[in-house]
Chains A and B, each alone.
Chain A
């Protein structure tokens, strides 16, 4: 019995790891314009073999390499980042209801983007505003809570307060915005991978890669950190230092992902739960598999957002509308301790 369960778990894990690659390949072939598989392949090959360039119409090549490819890479990176960040923070805060935006990041990012879209000009793109203020919000939380006692509860409470503060600032900016800027802002807030280009990737991908690597290396440590602070200290862990490290890494990757993709909710809450339901709570598995499932989830949602209708549906709507019912259904089915 144990053997069967272990085998099933291994298969599930392998499946989850392979899924993003499969979806990536499929998504390359999905879009407004039907492009035959052959041409997709040739577009890639033409990077190495220049002579192939003439065999593919330039429109197709541009779509595959400059519109779809960066967008999919972004979905992979952002999906992984948001899911891993959620998983790590859930372990750190010993609370399965925590998500990646718990420390005020989403409000900070929204305000930063709004500031840029409404008041600052072209020199200060919303991506920069979102990143800077997203990180600033978390730093504010760390600073304020740190002056108290930096217990996890005080961090969460401070997160709520800072979040509320930036939300209020956001409302003020919205109030003062012209109707045109307001439209742009609302669209940004709903989450959107549509305008991702190579330049966005070039700036955000390294940050996400570094943060993800850090959390990947810390994945077993998260098991220890998810014990009570007293226990963790008794086990010989410098809780204060490692807590800061985890929060910083999670913040960087979430801010980077949010700055280029907008606010995409629910990923960081739901994906780690689904993974734990499948393979248990050991973070050695949960972290990499959350990355895989998060990436897959965002890829699938993006493919749907692109191709369902002729209009681009904001991706944040998808992750919520699809994620929540799926989550509830799985919750009902498992019945047992699902954490």
Chain B
């Protein structure tokens, strides 16, 4: 099911985000890019209803996201934050298990089915051997994978990831993005990510959204919209697009 955005406006003291219209195809990976302060995280949080959402702005299929109850919404959408600072040393397995919260009524304990979902998620991201280790003992990259696993355990149809590759070394960056694209491809989830790294965005995404100062400058498939003048407009820096091994690379 598609995600459709219709006249989304978000105001806080210093910043206004204003999106006329956006659409995200189901089963595809979309990357939101732009300079710092463009509003990428804000847009993601609005779409995930982390920021309060007005009615009739974000639609999931034909459902108005704002009209859903929290637990219902969480069964549809997972949100993976940039980081999680561990205060209590839960095991990786227990951590991932918390992703099942939307499926459990208030006073219930996770059942065998919930444990199975967590197990499945752990196996998908390849962290099963780490399942009984404390979360705090994992490396940055591994922690990101755990956060993704938690989102997977939620068994939602949409996945939002905020800057999933920041602070990761190239290998881990690649690893995470491979997983993320697998999620769209193999599992058919609708995935939205925000990214700083333009090359990765171009390589992995099915569609791109360029944000600058709270406005959508361009949106569409990379092949269609990626031009040097667009890049200059968005980043205020002259860039060149270079073809290499069948891929497009951005050079400053």
Contacts and interface: CB of A to CB of B under 8 A. Distances in A.
B177 interface: no
Contacts of B134: 280, 337
Interface in A276-317: 276, 280-282, 284
A320 interface: no
A339 B88 CA distance: 5
Contacts of B110: 220
A234 B98 contact: no
B50 A230 contact: yes
Nearest to B87: A94
Nearest to A284: B109
B87 A235 contact: no
B16 interface: no
A234 B134 CA distance: 22
B223 to A, nearest CB: 33
Nearest to B78: A234
Contact of B88 (A218, A221, A238, A276): A276
Contact of B48 (A228, A232, A234): A234
A242 B84 contact: no
Interface string A206-244: 000000000001111101101110111111111000100
Interface stretch (B24-32, B58-66, B67-75): B67-75
Contacts of A242: 106
A75 interface: no
Interface residues of B, number: 35
A223 B136 CA distance: 15
A242 B107 CA distance: 11
Contacts of A226: 87-88
Contacts, number: 92
A276 B88 CA distance: 9
Interface string A42-70: 00000000000000000000000000000
A339 B75 CA distance: 31
Interface in B104-125: 104, 106-110
Contacts of B104: 220
Of B91, B98, B108, chain A has the most CB atoms within 10 Å of the CB of B98
A169 B132 CA distance: 50
A216 to B, nearest CB: 9
B132 A234 contact: no
Contacts of B154: 235-236
A323 interface: no
A231 B87 CA distance: 14
Contact of A236 (B75, B91, B107, B132): B75
A96 interface: yes
A230 B81 contact: yes
B94 interface: yes
Q: What is the interface residue range for chain A against chain B?
A: 20 to 34
Contact of A231 (B77, B81, B97): B81
A184 interface: no
Contact of B109 (A220, A237, A276): A220
B229 interface: no
Nearest to B74: A236
A2 interface: yes
A224 B109 CA distance: 12
Given A234-B79, A235-B98, A235-B101, 14 more contacts: A218-B106, A220-B108, A220-B110, A221-B107, A223-B90, A223-B97, A223-B98, A227-B84, A227-B98, A233-B50, A233-B70, A281-B90, A282-B91, A337-B89
Interface of B: 48, 50, 70-75, 77-79, 81, 84, 87-91, 94, 97-99, 101-102, 104, 106-110, 132, 134, 136-137, 154
30 contacts: A91-B88, A217-B107, A219-B109, A220-B104, A220-B108, A220-B109, A220-B110, A221-B106, A223-B90, A223-B94, A227-B84, A230-B50, A232-B101, A233-B50, A234-B50, A235-B98, A235-B101, A235-B102, A236-B71, A236-B72, A236-B74, A237-B71, A237-B74, A237-B101, A276-B88, A276-B89, A280-B91, A280-B94, A282-B91, A282-B94
- Nearest first, the 6 closest Cβ-Cβ pairs linking A and B are A236-B74, A236-B102, A281-B88, A234-B79, A217-B107, A236-B71
